[in-house]
Structure 1
């Protein structure tokens, strides 16, 4: 399923379109989507399709349509410190976005059937941590991925505050997933072509709400015809953070807070970012001078007027920064 929103030129365009179509409705979900470039989870030869609202599959690799992930993120009602289990965690795209919201004291686990996909997810995660400018702007709950069939999770595994399943679930597997949910927790799962939000309201009571009509490939079930017992999946342990880890978290938090206070005028809204992107599209030619990319003249009087407005706005921003610095 997909194609519900217009195709974008880049990740910010895609998020703008998802917001306009009301798939993204909260600020924290928007921030997570903007921080993770969807194109980074595509193979290079397919990246040109990354910002279309369509699912993508290549071999065992799979990404759902952006509108699906948007609804999932909103329906999970995430907040800092929660525990999250992703059944069919795939490329790790969704788990990484969830980790940006859970923060350093959350739990972020994923189970994926295919070993090659888990290796791919770990590579994408490592690339995000090492190379993304967004990583330093968040307190991150790093996902932990294990290989296995999510229908064979050990019966003594811990329960979670939030669970998502990325494959179609038959009715007889619904209770299996409900039991892994804590009281007050939320499970988002596709059941009978409906993306469904299930809230556990008590030890033996749940409330269900249909969110969106969807089409998912069904969960892969183990073949028991040969009489062999399927391998049991052991979920990652939940560790208590060491004093060193806690110190690192709070030092990083303090440094991040100081940086934000020192440069409040440098933070730009998504609307302003999109305006600057439009500016780049209006310019005809670029030339290299040393290691700098210098824009040449714009074509029309209208474009020149827009460029002048942006330069004036930049001047006002610089003046505000000087005033802010002098007042400290």
Structure 2
């Protein structure tokens, strides 16, 4: 039986969070396990691994928090996070440590590593992520290819590359040439630029961000990227606005992405979603799920949860600037 450290070394987070993060959570999804071997983890050994696990990107909360309030017992934390009634469960585990990308110096290498770890499977999404260099969309001096969210100022973050890959794959069929895409909480403009490349000059990619300084800097980022011609001709635009209200001017949208967690899905985004379109949005407060919302031809909705995540809240500009 492998050691406790073996199990802790293969668990990784898939989140976008506000830093510094006072309380972060461990998320375990099928995407993190890539079919090398099937192992039964005994309950006591799994519990030990979970309670001792730590890494630079996430950690399991202490069962007895420093405030003195015991918010969750150890078993309750694991039950809520893993959404399983029992701890003795079968998991697919990999022999390799989840990649952070600290030694990667080129955008193409970042994409290749995402592919090699099974995080990125779509050839089209890989091509787009190679085309739009992430280094142009992170703060100066920051390591651009590390697989981790990072601060971009104004209590905002840019998501980790694997989360961008996941969202692009979830929306791929709704980002075909000529389609309309809306990116709420567009931040530095990275994902908006990816959307623009996918929908092409006959489509429309719209970013909405409520921090004017981020909109200004995102436009500069886009103008330095491969998406610059699309911005110049007008098929790509970024606007200052409250993302909870969407952007009606170019609705309806085939694809809508939200880069912050809402307590519930904003009605305006449902209204602006085209029948046959798809919305990807993190929903929740402490416990959040990345929800995939498909709008059927008759206007009804089909909703499923893709994975557990940790995003900054979708809130007003004033609340964000004062730290939520």
User: Which TM bucket (shorter chain)?
Assistant: 0.5 to 0.7
Secondary structure of the 2:141 match is helix
Secondary structure of the 1:94 match is helix
The number of equivalent residue pairs is 215
Q: Aligned partners of 2:299, 2:149: CA distance in 1, in Å?
A: 35
Return the structure number with greater helix share. 1
Residues 69 and 94 in structure 1, CA contact (< 8 A), matched pair in contact too: yes
Q: Who is 2:294 aligned against?
A: 199
Residues 105 and 141 in structure 1, CA contact (< 8 A), matched pair in contact too: no
Structure 1 runs not aligned, ≥5 long: 225-328
Q: Aligned partners of 2:113, 2:282: CA distance in 1, in Å?
A: 24
Deviations 1:154-206, CA, capped at 9 Å, x for gaps: 778731111001100112x3433222101000101111211121110134311
Change beyond 3 A, Cα 1:31–1:156 = closer
Q: Aligned partners of 2:168, 2:269: CA distance in 1, in Å?
A: 18
1:159 equivalenced with 2:252 (yes/no): yes
Q: Who is 1:37 aligned against?
A: 133
Match of 2:262 among 169, 182, 204: 169
Residues 166 and 190 in structure 1, CA contact (< 8 A), matched pair in contact too: yes
Residues 100 and 148 in structure 2, CA contact (< 8 A), matched pair in contact too: no
Match of 1:74 among 169, 175, 179: 169
Q: Who is 2:243 aligned against?
A: 150
- Higher RCO structure, 1 or 2 (CA under 8 Å, sep 6+): 2
Deviations 1:56-76, CA, capped at 9 Å, x for gaps: 113235310111100000000
Secondary structure of the 2:224 match is helix
Q: Who is 2:105 aligned against?
A: 9
Change beyond 3 A, Cα 1:141–1:203 = farther
CA-atom RMSD in angstroms = 2.6
TM-score by length of 2: 0.61
Structure 2 runs not aligned, ≥5 long: 1-14, 17-56, 58-97, 320-324
Change beyond 3 A, Cα 1:204–1:57 = same
Q: Aligned partners of 2:118, 2:296: CA distance in 1, in Å?
A: 28
Give the drift of 1:12. Answer: 1.6
Match of 1:27 among 117, 123, 127: 123
TM-score by length of 1: 0.60
Return structure 1 stretches of 4+ with deviation > 3 angstroms.
152-157, 173-176, 221-224
Q: Which has the larger radius of gyration?
A: 1
Give the drift of 1:23. Answer: 2.1
